[in-house]
Amino acid sequence: MSDRRRLKSNGRVADIALQGVVDADRFVVPLRHQVRHPVTAIHPRPHAGARDRELAFGELFEVLDIADGYAFGYAARDGYVGYVRAEALSDHWRNPSHRIIAPTYWRGHPALKAEGEPGFLPIGARVTVDAIHHDHCDWAEVAHPPAGPDSNGSAIYLPMPQLAPIDPPGSDLVAEAARYLGVPYLWAGNSGFGIDCSGLVQAACLACGIACPGDSDMQAEELGAVLPEDAPLKRGDLLFWKGHVALVADPDRILHANAGYMAVVHEPLDEAIARIEAVGNGAVIARRRL
């Protein structure tokens, strides 16, 4: 309960589920909000330059309090606690129906040659498809959450080939992670604009309907089961170093977001083990199988 990443309280306000468990001035029922910006950071403190994690467009955030331009609460996907800029959230939320599976853009009209500049959304964003229009390809009509009570929001249109239904979920962790190949490595990133090692593992797990915490130390403790050191590696297994995690693509290769290549890449397993140890991050400390 002392881990601030999971403690749904800042002393001033706490989730009502913690009444009688922690001390706080107020206990409140969280109010669900939806991310309306392409991406927004989860910060450990308001006005902090540091970033803990990220939320992408359409993801849900449970708000406990809004003060001084920041919402305090936690990500609906995994309970990760922190502060998000209030302007990035809307209280007009809807359950997403689709996820973005490839780099894409939106237009103000469902037409290939629509006027105006496109907006861009990352892999990993969530959308609710209300209708489908056709012009050269199918275009998904998606509601853009409004900024506040005085706005009704607007409709935007995305190419349908870059979307996949959330239900049914994917079935191959490595294939889902491979959608991010070439995406830049970004510390605390959680989207196709930039992603880190634990963000990639979480994205793959969530796409496959597997609950997954946000940081690699949590994943090393909670995901799947411990794999004995003498067990042969299989596709989808997880390897952990201090502060790093990778997916096993096959017995000889891993797939991971890493600062060595500053991207999501496949890397030969033996070369990765030697390289990571050479830069001072040590040997593999855990192996787990989902």
Q: How far apart are CA 187 and CA 197, in angstroms?
A: 8
Length of the chain: 290
- The predicted-structure confidence for 28-41, as pLDDT tens digits, reads as follows 999 999 999 999 99
Residue at 3 is within a domain: no
Same structural domain, 196 and 213: yes
Residue at 103 is within a domain: yes
- The predicted-structure confidence for 192-211, as pLDDT tens digits, reads as follows 999 999 999 999 999 999 99
Same structural domain, 189 and 121: no
pLDDT of 236 reads 98
- Closest by CA position to 269, among listed 229, 227, 242, 233: 233
C-beta separation of 98 from 167 below 8 A = no
- The predicted-structure confidence for 67-123, as pLDDT tens digits, reads as follows 999 999 999 999 999 999 999 999 999 999 999 999 999 999 999 999 999 999 999
Q: Which domain holds residue 112?
A: 98-165
pLDDT beyond 90 at 152: no
Residue at 252 is within a domain: yes
Q: How far apart are CA 252 and CA 230, in angstroms?
A: 15
CATH classification of the domain holding 50: 2.30.30.40
Q: Which of 113, 138, 165 is the last residue of a domain?
A: 165
Same structural domain, 105 and 81: no
Mean pLDDT of the chain: 96
Residue at 130 is within a domain: yes
Same structural domain, 189 and 266: yes
pLDDT of 2 reads 83
Same structural domain, 78 and 109: no
Same structural domain, 82 and 140: no
pLDDT of 154 reads 85
Residue 75 corresponds to which amino acid? A
CATH classification of the domain holding 197: 3.90.1720.10
Radius of gyration of the chain (CA): 20
Residue at 138 is within a domain: yes
- The predicted-structure confidence for 215-238, as pLDDT tens digits, reads as follows 999 999 999 999 998 999 999 999
Same structural domain, 203 and 262: yes
Residue at 5 is within a domain: no
Same structural domain, 105 and 51: no
C-alpha 196 chain-centroid distance: 10
Same structural domain, 203 and 131: no
Q: How far apart are CA 25 and CA 33, in angstroms?
A: 23
pLDDT of 1 reads 58
- Number of domains present in the structure of the chain: 3
pLDDT beyond 80 at 49: yes
Q: Which of 35, 57, 90 is the last residue of a domain?
A: 90
Provide the H-helix boundaries in 96-215.
173-178, 197-207
What percentage of residues in the chain have a pLDDT greater than 90? 93
pLDDT of 151 reads 66
Burial of 158 (0-12, 13-18, 19+ CB in 10 A): buried
Residue 127 corresponds to which amino acid? V
- The predicted-structure confidence for 127-151, as pLDDT tens digits, reads as follows 999 999 999 999 999 999 888 766 6
pLDDT beyond 90 at 252: yes
Same structural domain, 181 and 263: yes
pLDDT of 146 reads 84
Residue at 2 is within a domain: no
Same structural domain, 189 and 274: yes
pTM to 2 decimal places: 0.96
Residue at 7 is within a domain: no
What percentage of residues in the chain have a pLDDT greater than 70? 98
Q: Which of 90, 120, 137 is the last residue of a domain?
A: 90
pLDDT of 150 reads 62
pLDDT of 23 reads 96
